[in-house]
Structure 1
C-alpha cells in the first residue's frame, strides 16, 4: 500500500465518524491546552512574583542607630543632616531619618472639635520625628494635604502629619480647615495625611512631627533609624557605604539590615510553581491519551470485518497497524494544534485580566502539536497491534 493511500485511508477513518472523532480530539485538546496554560500561567506568575521580590524587598536598606553613649553632653552618632550624604551615594533613590522612643510610643493624642460625627477625640498613638523625605523613603503618598518641608523644620513650626489610620481614629478626614491635634496639652496643626505606606507600616497609626519641633517639645533628638531605598542591584553596595556616610569613623557601631540575595529564593518559588502546574498539565494529558486509546480500541472492535477484508485482499499486518496508528496520531495532532492555540489565548487573557505581563515560552507552544501527535501515537499502539494480530478468517467469520 502506497503511503499516500495509507494516509487517505486513515483520514477517511477519522472523518467517517466526525462526532466521535471530535469528542476524542477534545480530550487531547483539553490536555494540551491545560499543559500550555499551566506552563504559561506559571511563568507569568513566577515573573510577577520575581518582580514583587525585586521591587519591595531587594531595594530596602535600614540602618539602625544605637543611642549615644551616656555622659553630661551626649553626642549622637548620626545627625539629621547625615541623610544628605547617603542620598549622594550611587544607586540611592531616597533616604530619610526617623526618631522614636519608648516614651513616645503611646502618647495620648486628642483632636479638636473638627472631627467626623461619632469620631473619638482621644487616642493612644505613637509620636515620631522624621526628616522631610519620609514619604518617598516609606514608599507612601499624601492622601490629603502635604508633608512638611525644610522651611517648616527650620522655623520649628508646630505642624504634624498623621498616618491614615491615625487620622481615621482621630476623626480627621480633611486638612483644608487647619484641624489641630493636642499632644501633652500642646496643639499642632495637621497639614497632611500620609497613606499607602509600604515600609514602616506602623507609621500609619503614628503622628509625625518635624525633627526640630519634636526635639524642642518632646525631647525626640536622636536619630534611631535611617530608611534607604535603592535601585535594583545596588542594595548590597549601599549597605556597605551608608554607615560610613552617616557616621565616619563610627560606622561599626551602626547596624545595617540589607536584603538577602533573593536569586535562589526567586528560583525556588518559580520552580515550585512551574513544577506544580506541570504535574497538573501532565495529568490532564494522560487523561486525554486514555480517551484516545479507548476510542481507538472500540473502533478496532467495530471494524473487525473491514480488517478481515483488507487482510484477505493482501494487506499486511504492518499496513493494518499503520492505518490505525496514523488515525490515532492524526487525532492527537489535531488536538495538540487546537489545544496549543487555545492555551496561548487563555494565558494572554489571564495576564490581561490581572494586569500582568504575559510570559509565553515558545517551546511548549510550538511543541504542543508534536506532543499531541506523540500522545496519539502511543495511545493507538495497543489497539493497532491488536488489529494487526487478527487473522483474516477469524475476522471475516466474526462478522
Structure 2
C-alpha cells in the first residue's frame, strides 16, 4: 500500500500580501508612526531637490532674459590704491572687437542729486549722477518702471532718469516731478524726472544711479568724454575670447589698470551656493531615512514578540520558516513603501507650494520621485530582515509556550 505524503502548502502572492497586511491593519497607529520616519526622509529629499531644481531653473530663466553675454569694462586701481581712468579711446577700440554685438557706456559727472534745494550738500545718499548714451538701456536689457528713457529730443535737456533705488531714496514715485542737482563749481538747478527704472539684477549698480544725457552732462554738470564704465554685449560663444583681450584693447599701454568682469558670474555663484546648501540638507534627509529605518526595525521586533503565539500556531499547522520570514519581511516592505509614497507626495506638494510663493517655475526631478519610494522599500527591507529571520527561527512549541 502506497502512502502519499501531503505536499507542503504553497502560499500564493495574494496570500502573502494578506499576511503582510495583518500587522499594519491591526496596529494602525504604530505602523503609521513607523512609516512616518521614512516619509519624512523621502519628503525632505524630494522637496529639497525639487526646490533646488526650481531655483536653478529660475536663475537660468533670469540669465536667459538678462543675457549672460554681458561684459563690463571699468577702471582698475593704481599702485597707490586710487582709481585709474579709462582712455578716451577705450569706447571706440572696444567697439571694434568683431564679436562685440552692442556697446554702450556711462561717464562720471561732478554733480550730486537731492530731493530739493534745502537738503544739506553732505546728504547725497551715495547716489551717482552719470551721463549715459542713448543705447544704454537696450544694451543692459533694462526695463522702465515708469516714464521713458532718454532720446534725441531729451538728451540736451535738464531731465534725468532715476534708477530704482535712487527713485525710492529721492521719494519719486512717478515721472513729472523735479529734483535738485548741484555740486562743486556747479550752479545748482532743477531737473525734471523723465522716468524711473525697474531693478536690474545683472547690473545692480545702475539702481543707485541717476542718468543724464551726455550733451547736457558735458555742458552743465562737468561730465567728460572719458567713460567710467563700458558695457559690451558679445556673441554668446565668444564671451571668453573677448574677456581675454578686452583689457589690452581698452588700454594698450596699461592693461593691468583695467577691470573686466562678467556680471552673470554672480548669479552663477548664487546657484553654486544653493547647490552646496542642497548637499547639506540632503545629508540630513539621509539621517532621517536611517532614523525611519530604525523605527521600522523596532516596530517589527516588537511585533514579532507580541505575535509569538500566532507564529507558533502557524508553525504547528505546517507553515515553513521561509513563509514566516516572507510574512514579516513583506510587512516591513509595505511599511517602507507606504512611507515612501506618502513622502514623495508630500515632497512634490511642498515644491509646488514653495515655487508658487516665490514665483518660480516648478521643476521636480522625476528620478527622485521614482527613486524615493524605491529607496524607502530598500530601507524597510533591511530594517525588517532581522526581525523576520528571528520570527522564522522560533520553534512551534517554544513560541506557543511563550505566548
Question: What's the TM-score once normalised by structure 1's chain length?
Answer: 0.76
Is residue 2:105 matched to residue 1:97?
A: yes
From 185, 206, 209, the equivalent of 2:212 is 209
C-alpha distance in structure 1 between counterparts of 2:68 and 2:105, whole Å: 20
Distance 1:207 1:332, change over 3 A: closer
Distance 1:32 1:14, change over 3 A: same
Partner of 1:78: 89
Partner of 2:333: 329
Is residue 2:135 matched to residue 1:133?
A: yes
Return the offset for 1:165. Answer: 5.0
Partner of 2:20: 10
Q: Quick check: 1:162–1:190 contact (8 Å CA) kept in 2?
A: no
C-alpha distance in structure 2 between counterparts of 1:41 and 1:199, whole Å: 22
Q: Which secondary structure state, in structure 2, belongs to the residue aligned with residue 222 of structure 1?
A: coil
Distance 1:242 1:284, change over 3 A: same
Q: How does 1:357-372 map to 2 (within 5 A)?
A: 357-372=361-376
C-alpha distance in structure 1 between counterparts of 2:136 and 2:244, whole Å: 22
Partner of 1:227: 231
Distance 1:166 1:294, change over 3 A: closer
Q: Quick check: 2:63–2:264 contact (8 Å CA) kept in 1?
A: no
Return the offset for 1:226. Answer: 0.9
C-alpha distance in structure 2 between counterparts of 1:223 and 1:366, whole Å: 56
Unaligned 5+ runs, structure 2: 1-8, 77-85
Partner of 1:69: none
Is residue 2:303 matched to residue 1:295?
A: no
Return the offset for 1:361. Answer: 1.9
Mean Cα displacement is larger for which, 218-227 or 237-246? 237-246
Partner of 1:120: 119
Distance 1:222 1:45, change over 3 A: closer
Mean Cα displacement is larger for which, 290-299 or 364-373? 364-373
From 340, 356, 364, the equivalent of 2:360 is 356
Q: How does 1:126-275 map to 2 (within 5 A)?
A: 126-138=128-140, 140-153=142-155, 156-163=156-163, 166=166, 175-176=175-176, 181-183=181-183, 184-195=186-197, 196-198=199-201, 201-217=204-220, 218=222, 220-230=224-234, 233-239=237-243, 255=258, 257-259=260-262, 268-269=272-273, 271-275=275-279
Aligned-residue CA RMSD in angstroms?
4.0
Partner of 1:395: 399
Unaligned 5+ runs, structure 1: 67-74, 114-118
C-alpha distance in structure 2 between counterparts of 1:149 and 1:357, whole Å: 36
Q: Quick check: 1:214–1:221 contact (8 Å CA) kept in 2?
A: no
C-alpha distance in structure 2 between counterparts of 1:112 and 1:274, whole Å: 49
C-alpha distance in structure 2 between counterparts of 1:384 and 1:53, whole Å: 54
Q: Quick check: 2:214–2:223 contact (8 Å CA) kept in 1?
A: no
C-alpha distance in structure 2 between counterparts of 1:358 and 1:111, whole Å: 43
From 34, 39, 53, the equivalent of 1:43 is 53
Return the offset for 1:204. Answer: 4.6
C-alpha distance in structure 1 between counterparts of 2:284 and 2:365, whole Å: 18
Distance 1:131 1:85, change over 3 A: farther
Q: Quick check: 1:36–1:340 contact (8 Å CA) kept in 2?
A: yes
Return the offset for 1:27. Answer: 3.1
Q: Quick check: 1:53–1:266 contact (8 Å CA) kept in 2?
A: no
Q: Quick check: 2:108–2:223 contact (8 Å CA) kept in 1?
A: no
Distance 1:52 1:140, change over 3 A: closer
Q: Which secondary structure state, in structure 1, belongs to the residue aligned with residue 364 of structure 2?
A: coil
Q: Quick check: 2:70–2:264 contact (8 Å CA) kept in 1?
A: no
Q: Quick check: 2:99–2:235 contact (8 Å CA) kept in 1?
A: no
Partner of 2:35: 25
Q: Quick check: 1:160–1:188 contact (8 Å CA) kept in 2?
A: no
Return the offset for 1:300. Answer: 0.8
Q: Which secondary structure state, in structure 2, belongs to the residue aligned with residue 96 of structure 1?
A: strand
Q: Which secondary structure state, in structure 1, belongs to the residue aligned with residue 21 of structure 2?
A: helix
